Amino acid sequence: MKDLPVPEGLHWQKSSFSGGGGDTSCVEISTAPTTLHLRESDSPTTILSPTPTALHALLTALRDGPRTPPQG
C-alpha cells in the first residue's frame, strides 16, 4: 500500500446514520468521475479508494458477515 496525495475539490458527505451530537466518528463518502472515496471523519487524511470489486466485497462482507448478539 502506498500513500497518495489527498484529492482536492472533493465534496464529502456523512452517513445519514451519523448521530451528530458531538459524535465525530462517522464514515464519509465522496465521488470523483472514476473513483469512490471513503474516509473516517476523525481521520480525514486517511482515504480509501477501493476498486468496484473490492468495495462490493467489503459491502457484502459487512452485510452478510457473522453477527454477534450484544453482550450484557
Q: What is the pLDDT of residues 38-69, one digit of tens each?
A: 988 888 888 889 988 998 998 898 888 877 76
Confidence label for 20 from pLDDT (cuts 50, 70 and 90):
low
Q: Is residue 1 part of a domain?
A: no
Q: Is residue 40 part of a domain?
A: yes
Residue 52, domain extent: 25-57
The reported pLDDT for the residue numbered 58 is 85
Q: Is residue 50 part of a domain?
A: yes
Given a cut of 70, is residue 21 above it in pLDDT? no
Count: domains in the chain: 1
The answer to whether 35 touches 54, Cβ cutoff 8 Å, is: no
Please state the pTM of the whole predicted model: 0.65
Question: Where does residue 52 rank: exposed (0-12), middle (13-18), buried (19+ CB within 10 A)?
Answer: exposed
Q: Is residue 13 part of a domain?
A: no
Q: Report DSSP state, residue 10.
A: -
Tracing cell 471523519 back to the chain, one arrives at: 41
Confidence label for 30 from pLDDT (cuts 50, 70 and 90):
very high
The reported pLDDT for the residue numbered 2 is 58
Please give the Cα distance from 17 to 29 (Å, whole number): 13
Please give the Cα distance from 5 to 37 (Å, whole number): 13
Q: Is residue 41 part of a domain?
A: yes
Q: Is residue 68 part of a domain?
A: no
